[in-house]
Amino acid sequence: MQKNVLIVVATFSLLLMGCPPKTETGGAAGGGGGEVLVGEYGSLTGSEATFGQSTHNGIMMAVDEVNAAGGVGGRRIKVLTEDDQSKAEEAANVVTKLISQNNVVAVLGEVASSNSLAAAPIAQSNKIPMITPSSTNPSVTEKGDYIFRMCFLDSYQGEAMANYLTKDLKIKTAGLLIDVKSDYSTGLAQFFEKAFLAGGGRIVGRQSYAKGDNDFKSQLTALRSSNPQILYVPGYYNDIGQIAIQARDLGMKQPLVGGDGWESPKLIEIGGKALEGCFYSNHYFAGDPAPSVKNFVDQYKERYGQTPDALAALGYDAAKVLADAIKRAGKTDGPALRDAIASTKGFSGVTGSITLGPDRNPVGKKLVIVEVRNGQLALKGSVDAAGDSTSAAAPAAAPAATTTTTTTGTTGS
């Protein structure tokens, strides 16, 4: 018995001894020499897998472009990617690993706000800058002065959609269906509700579900009885399709309305016909004729064989902004890099011109409203950078619908 204990202790100490050298090699690569190590964490597997995969594709494309153009100050950027399985606790683990074992100079990630919120305090306490490409919950960047973001906030997104509904579509009543397990969903619903009420609308029904549920019929049955004009469902794409199908099964005809969490090539694949006429607010529209967007979309299609979604575009922008900041800082220690990122001004990205404000959020980003039309995504309207006025694409401007994105069914990937 005692012998066994000894063996176990010996094995563990061997394992422990085996670790430090690995860390040191990582440190050497990060500190001086040839490569700049950047960490990326994302939902490459799990329920929000397309978020992580799209973001990863965007980041890799940006980094390859930077490296092909000579890198940053003559050094190549190397991205170390970790999968957090769409779980907040895993996000905290892998970011700790990236920072303490791999000694990365900065961290990129995540999409889901809950996961970014779990990782942000770790980056902050280690004084390693973190850029979230697409977490929209306001509290993410409130975690500290090392946390930045590339996208608009839920306060803006929720308000813009509420104004669009009350002012442009003259909608009076809405039902809410909220994912209570997600900081993103609860936050966005709050901002939406506040603005919707302020705009003269009424919330006639409110129900909740938890991420991972598959049966929404009971909640929808309750919402059906209050008969709202629209259903605001600020959830993630993998639940939306099911919610739409089950709503139609119950005979509900209202359009579902949501936020950027809907953005995924899987959305229409899962929801199909049930999503017809539903719409959501988003960061960019792949059919946008602007040259910066078109260029990006073409190159992305050539490289990955599918249309980039907003998360790919934001991942791309985040990596480009980081590379630009490393270049300007000239060094990679945390505080210097932080200051360089914070002073990003007028950076021309795919999702618009990026200027970071004092709260480390971008100022004046545009917002588009995307509709599912004939099984494809089409531009329904857009909100200009000022954010207070909503300019809907008038029916006359409907030819813009020719610029529809084809949602490539990436099955079996």
Residues that bind another protein (CB under 8 A): 44-47, 49-50, 53, 85, 180, 207-210, 212-219, 221-222, 225, 238, 241-242, 245, 248-251, 266, 269-270, 272, 411-413
User: Minimum CB separation from another protein for residue 373, in Å?
Assistant: 20
Residue 317 Cβ vs another protein, minimum distance, rounded to whole Å:
24
One DSSP character per residue, 26-66 reads: HHHHHHSSSEEEEEEEE-SSSTTHHHHHHHHHHHHHHHHHH
Which residues neighbour 153 within 8 Å (Cβ) at sequence distance 6 or greater?
136, 137, 138, 361
Shortest distance (Å) from residue 364 CB to another protein: 34
Least distance in Å: CB of 164 to another protein?
A: 28
Q: Are 366 and 285 in contact (CB under 8 A)?
A: no
**Closer residue to another protein (CB): 2 or 214:** 214
Shortest Å, Cβ 82 to another protein: 15
Strands (E), 166-245: 173-179, 202-209, 230-232
Nearer to another protein, 84 or 324 (CB): 84
Q: Which is nearer to another protein, 3 or 253 (CB)?
A: 253
Of the pair 330, 409, the CB lying nearest another protein is at 409
Is the Cβ of residue 88 or residue 293 nearer to another protein in the bound state?
88
Q: Respond yes or no on whether the N-terminal peptide bond of residue 110 is cis (omega within 30° of 0).
A: yes
Strand boundaries in 84-172, DSSP class E: 106-108, 130-132, 147-149
**CB-nearer residue toward another protein: 180 or 290:** 180
Q: Which one, 146 or 232, has the nearer CB to another protein?
A: 232
Q: Identify whether the C-beta of residue 123 lies closer than 8 Å to the C-beta of residue 146.
A: yes
Cβ proximity to another protein, 138 vs 241, nearer residue = 241
Q: Which is nearer to another protein, 172 or 217 (CB)?
A: 217
Residue whose entry in the numeric block shows the structure tokens 């059906």: 224
Q: Is 63 exposed, middle or buried (0-12, 13-18, 19+ CB in 10 A)?
A: buried
CB of 396 to another protein, least distance (A): 35
Three-point CA angle 195, 258, 141, nearest 5°: 70
96 vs 91: CA distance, rounded Å: 9
The residue whose two tokens read 């995924």 is: 264
Note whether 182 and 236 are within 8 A (CB): yes
Q: Which residues of 142-155 are buried (b: 16+ CB within 10 A; e: fewer)?
A: ebebbbbbbbbbbb
d(CA 179, CA 197): 20
Please work out, in degrees rounded to the nearest 5, the angle formed at the alpha carbon of residue 130 by the alpha carbons of 126 and 136. Answer: 135
Closest CA to 59 of 329, 313, 349, 327: 313
At closest approach, how far in Å is the CB of 235 from another protein? 13
Q: Give the integer Cα–Cα distance in Å for 116 and 137.
A: 9
CB of 131 to another protein, least distance (A): 25
| Strands 106-108 vs 76-83: parallel, antiparallel or unpaired | unpaired
Which of residues 213 and 359 has its CB atom nearest to another protein in the complex? 213
CB of 239 to another protein, least distance (A): 8
> What is the smallest separation between the CB atom of 184 and another protein, expressed in angstroms?
17
